[in-house]
Structure 1
Amino acid sequence: MLYMRMLLSLAVSLYTSRIVLNTLGVQDFGIYNVVGGFVSMLGFLNSSMSSATQRFLSFEIGRNDSFQFARVFSMSVSIHIFIGVIILILAESVGLWFVNVHLTIPPERLSAANWVYHFSVIAFIVGVISVPYNSVIIAHERMNVFAWVSIVEVSLKLLIVFMLLWFGFDKLKLYAVLVFVVSLIIRFIYSIYCNRNFPESKFRLFWDKPLFITLISYAGWSLWGSAAGVLYSQGVNVLLNIFFGPAINAARGIAYQVQGAINSFVSNFQMAMNPQIIKSYASDDIKYMHQLLFQGAKYSFFLLFALSLPIIIETEIILKLWLKIVPEYTVIFTQLVIVNILIDSISGPLMTAAQASGKIKLYQGVVGGLLLLILPLSYLFFKLGFPAESTFYISILISIIATYARLIILRNLVHINIVYFLKVVVSKIIIVCSIAIFIPLTFRIIMVESSFRFVLVGLSSITCTLCSIYFIGLNKTEKEYLFLTLQKTFNRVFSKKIIQHKS
C-alpha cells in the first residue's frame, strides 16, 4: 500500500509539473528553478544538523532511552530555529545581492524573480524548522506517514495548478506565494502528528551545554559534506544559468523532477532501512549491520534500475508524451541524471553506516572534497567551450570515485569487507545491468520510433530486469524471503476479498 500511495503521488506530481511548465513557459519555469535552487544552496547549514538529529534520535531509540530522546528533540528544535534565523540573514543580504546582480534574468522579469526569491526563502525556513519533526517520524519508522502526507502535498500542488489558470495575476509571482502556503500547511501536519503520537516530541525550551556541544560537533563535521553536496548541485545550476541562460535551467529542472520522481521509491526504502542500521550499530550487532549494508546497497540499485531502464532508453518519447514543451537539452540531461542517481543509490546505506559510527571527520572531508570538485571542473569545462551536458559527465565520474572512497573509509570505521562488497553487490549489479539492457536496447536500435516500439521496449525492459534480478542478482536466501513476502501479501489481499464477498 505504501508504494501504491507513492505511485498515486508520482502520477499527480508529474501531471502538475507538465501544467506548471506549460502555464509559466520555459523562461519563467527556468527562473523559478534557478532562483529557488539558489535559495537551497543555504541548506548546507540545515543538512548537516538534519543528519545529526536523525542519527541521535535513532541512537536513543536503540538504547531505549525516551528521556534522552525528548531532550535531543527539544535541543534540535532550538538549534534549527537558530539556523533558520542565520539563513534568513544571509539570504536577505548576500543572497539577494547575488540574485539581482549575477544571475542571468531578463530585466522585465527581475521583479517576479524577487518575489520567487523572498517566498522561497520563507518556505525554506519553514522546512528547516520541520526537520526535527520529520526525524522523529523516521526514527520511529512510521514511513507510511510520509506517503499519506505526500498525497496531501501533491493534491495541494495540483490545486495550485488550477489556481494559476483561474487568476490573472502574474503567474510566476502567484506560483511562488502558493508554494509557500503549501509548505506551511505540510509543516503543521507533521508537527500536529508528532505531538499527538509521540509525547516525547513536544518542544520544551531548555539548555544543556554538553548535549548542545555533542550535537553541534557532530553536525560540524557533517557541515563540510553537506556544503559540498549542496554547493556542487545548486552551484552547477547557477553556472548553467550564467553560461547558457534561464532556458537551460528549465531543462535541468525537468530532468531533476524525473530524478526526484523515480528516486522517491528508493529514498523511502532507504529511509526505512537507515534507522535499523543505526540501531544495530548502537546495540553492537555489527554482523547484522553489515548484512543491512550489503542488502540495502544492492536492493536500492535494483529497485531504481527497474524503474529507470525504460525511461533511459525511451527518454525522448516519454518527454514528448509528458510535456507539450520539451526544452532543449532535456533528453540528455534526464538520461545522465538518472545514470548518476543509479550510482549514488549504492552509497545511501554506506553514508548511514558512517553516521552511525559517529566518526565522520575523515568521511565527510574526503567525500565532500570529491563532490565539491564538480563545481570548479564544470566551470573550467564551460570556459573552455564544452557543452552544457559536460557537467553531468563530470558528476558521474566523481560519483564513481566517491563510492569507492566511501568503501575504503568504512573498512576502518565499521570493518566492512571491500572485496566481499564488490563480489556480492557491485559484480551482481554489473551482470544484471549488462543482461537486462541487451534486448530492449536492441529493439530501440533496430525499430523506427512508434507506439509499438515504445510498448515493446517498456515491456521487455521490465521483464528482462526482473528476470535478471531474480535469477542473478539474488541469492538463495533472498529468493526464499521474496517468495514468502509475496505469498503473505497475496494471502492478505485474497483473504480481505473473501471477507468482503461474504459480508
Structure 2
Amino acid sequence: MSDSKRIAKNTFFLYIRMIINMLISLYTSRVILNTLGVTDYGIYNLVGGVVVLFSFLNNAMTNATQRFLNYEIPSKIKERINRVFCMSINIHFVISIIVVILSETVGLWFLNYKLNIPDDRMYAANIVYQMSILTTLINIMRIPYNAMIITNEKMSFYAFLGIFETCMKLIIVFLLLFFKKYDLLILYGILLMLVNLLINIIYFVYCSKNFHEQTQLRYVKDKKLFKELISFSGWNLFGQVAVLSSTQGINMILNIFIGVTINAAMGIANQVNAAIYNFISNMQVAFTPQIVQSYAGGRHQQHKNLVLNSSKYSLYLFLILAIPFLIQTEFILHLWLGKNLPPYVISFTQVIILNSIVSAMVGSFWMSVNAIGNIRNYQIVISCILILSLPASYIILKNGLPPTYVLIANLCLNIITFLYRFWYINQKLVFKRSEILTYLKGIVFVLIYIIVLIYLFKNNSENNYFNIFFQIGVAELILIAIAIFTGVSKEEFLMIKGFVNNKLMKNFKGNK
C-alpha cells in the first residue's frame, strides 16, 4: 500500500473515532457540569492539573519512545524493536516513582496550602487528587503500548478503543445520575480511574497477542540505547515544562488570584477546544509514522512535502471546524450548556481556539524536529519563549487586568514560537524558495480571512436560528474557496477531482 493510501486509511479510522468521541464528549461535559456544579467541576479540572504538572517527565519520554520505535519498525528486526520497548517500559516505571514522590510531597502541599479551594470541599479535593495520581500512573505505563500500536499503524484498533473509552465515560455520567446521595466529585474521580485501568489492560492484552515478540517484557541492559533515550527525552523535557507552564501553570495562577469558578471556565473552554483540535491531532497521528520514517529512510523530499502539507491541511481542517465556535461562541455555549455559564467562558473559548490555530500549523514541524533528532538548541529557545507565560500571567493579574489578557499573552508567545519553528526547520531541511512561497500563500490568505471574520462578528448578538446557520454556512464556503484557490496545487486539485469523479461514476453505474 502506498504512503498516501495508508495515511488516508489511517486518517479515516481516526476521524470515525473523533466524530463519535466529539459528540459524546460534548454531551457528557454538559451533564457533568450540571451534575457536579460549577465549583466541583472547577475543582476537578484544577486538581487533575496539579498531577499533570508533575507528569512532564512522562510527556518528554512519550516523544522519545514514539521516535525511536518509528526508526526501528521499518527494519522489522523484532529483537531491536523489543529492546527499545523494554527500555521504554523501564524508564516509564522510574518516571512513575518520581511522579508519586513529587505528587505526594510538593503537589500535596500545594493543593492544601496554596490553591484557592472552599474549605468544605478540601476532603473531596484530596480524594480526587489521589485518584488523579493513580490515573496518571496508569497512563504513564500505557505510553509504550500506545506507541507500539501507532508505529505499527494499527489505527482501526486505536480508533475503536478510543470510542470504547469514550462510551465508558458516558456510562459514568449515567451512573452519577443514579447515585446522587454520594459525593459525586469523589465518585467521578474513582470511576474515571477504573476506566483508565480497564483501557490499560486492553492495551496490554492486544499488544501481547499481536506483537508478542516486540512487547515481551525482559531485562534489557543497553547503556548506549539508554543514553540516547534519556538524552533525547532530556531535551524534550525543556519543551514539556514550558508547555505545562503555559497550560496548567496558568490555570493555577488564575485560581490563586480569582478562584475555582475561573477554573470551571477554563475547563469548559478547553473541552470545546479539545473537541475540535482532536480531529487535527488524530490526522497528525496518521502522518507521524510517515514523517519520521521518510526522514529515517533518507527520502528527504518526501519528508519536506509531508511536513508542509500536513501543516497546511491541519490548518484548513481546524478552521473549518472552528469557524462556528469563533463567530457564534455565545450561541453555541448557551445551546450546549444552558444559560448559567461561568464568567469569562466565552472570551476564554475564543482565545484558546485562536491559540490552537497556531498549534495546528506547528504539529508537523515538531514531528520533523523529532525525526531529525538534534533538538537541544530548538528546545532551549522554544522553552525560554513559552515559559515567559508564567511571569506575564502574574504581572497581568497583579495589575488588575481581566484574566482574558493572560490567554492573549500566551497566544502572542505561541505565534513567536511558530515563527521560530518555521525558521529552524528551514535551516535543517532547506526548503526551496518555491516551496516556502507556496506554503505561505496557502496559509496567509486564510489567516487574513479569519482575522476579518472575527472583526466583523465581534459584536454579533444574533439569536435567529436561520440567520446564524446562514452566516456560518457562508463563512465556511468562503473559507473553503480561499483554501482551494490559494493552498491547493494544480496537481493536488486534479487528484482530488479525479477521485471524486471516479466515485461519482461508480455510483452512477451502480444505480444504473
> Is the pair's TM-score, using the shorter chain for normalization, greater than 0.5?
yes
Give matches, 1:92-241, under 5 Å: 92-167=104-179, 168-199=181-212, 200-241=214-255
Asked if 1 retains the 8 angstrom alpha-carbon contact of 2:44 and 2:128, the reply is yes
CA 1:115–1:266: 2 relative to 1, 3 Å? same
Quick check: 1:326 aligned with 2:341?
yes
Distance in 1 between the 2:449 and 2:114 partners? 48
Q: Name the TM-score, length of structure 2 as normaliser.
A: 0.92
Distance in 1 between the 2:427 and 2:486 partners? 30
Quick check: 1:288 aligned with 2:302?
yes
Distance in 1 between the 2:107 and 2:85 partners? 30
CA 1:408–1:106: 2 relative to 1, 3 Å? same
Quick check: 1:468 aligned with 2:482?
yes
Partner residue in 2 for 1:45: 57
Quick check: 1:359 aligned with 2:374?
yes
Asked if 2 retains the 8 angstrom alpha-carbon contact of 1:353 and 1:414, the reply is no
Quick check: 1:390 aligned with 2:405?
yes
Quick check: 1:33 aligned with 2:72?
no
| AA aligned opposite 1:363 | Y
Distance in 2 between the 1:44 and 1:445 partners? 40
| AA aligned opposite 1:298 | K
Partner residue in 1 for 2:429: 414
Q: Which is further off, 432-441 or 117-126? A: 432-441
Unaligned runs of 5+ in 1: none
Deviation at 1:212, TM superposition (A): 1.1
Aligned match for 1:369, one of 384, 387, 411: 384
Deviation at 1:443, TM superposition (A): 7.6
Partner residue in 1 for 2:256: 242
Deviation at 1:134, TM superposition (A): 0.8
Asked if 2 retains the 8 angstrom alpha-carbon contact of 1:266 and 1:304, the reply is yes
| AA aligned opposite 1:238 | M
Partner residue in 2 for 1:257: 271
Give matches, 1:282-321, under 5 Å: 282-321=296-335
Quick check: 1:449 aligned with 2:466?
no
Asked if 2 retains the 8 angstrom alpha-carbon contact of 1:443 and 1:456, the reply is no
| AA aligned opposite 2:24 | V
Deviation at 1:310, TM superposition (A): 1.5
Deviation per residue, 1:192-243 (Å, 9 max, x gap): 2222222312322322222111111111111111111112210000001001
Asked if 2 retains the 8 angstrom alpha-carbon contact of 1:153 and 1:186, the reply is yes
CA 1:402–1:446: 2 relative to 1, 3 Å? closer
Deviation at 1:436, TM superposition (A): 6.7
Unaligned runs of 5+ in 2: 1-11
Deviation at 1:441, TM superposition (A): 7.2
Q: Name the TM-score, length of structure 1 as normaliser.
A: 0.94
Asked if 1 retains the 8 angstrom alpha-carbon contact of 2:58 and 2:92, the reply is yes
Deviation at 1:420, TM superposition (A): 4.9
Distance in 2 between the 1:181 and 1:440 partners? 42
Q: How many residues align?
A: 497
Asked if 1 retains the 8 angstrom alpha-carbon contact of 2:124 and 2:185, the reply is yes
Distance in 2 between the 1:94 and 1:395 partners? 26
Deviation per residue, 1:279-336 (Å, 9 max, x gap): 1111111111111111011001001011001110000000000002311111000000
Please state whether the residue corresponding to 2:221 is helix, strand or coil: coil
| AA aligned opposite 2:471 | V
Distance in 2 between the 1:238 and 1:465 partners? 37
Q: Which is further off, 48-57 or 380-389? A: 380-389
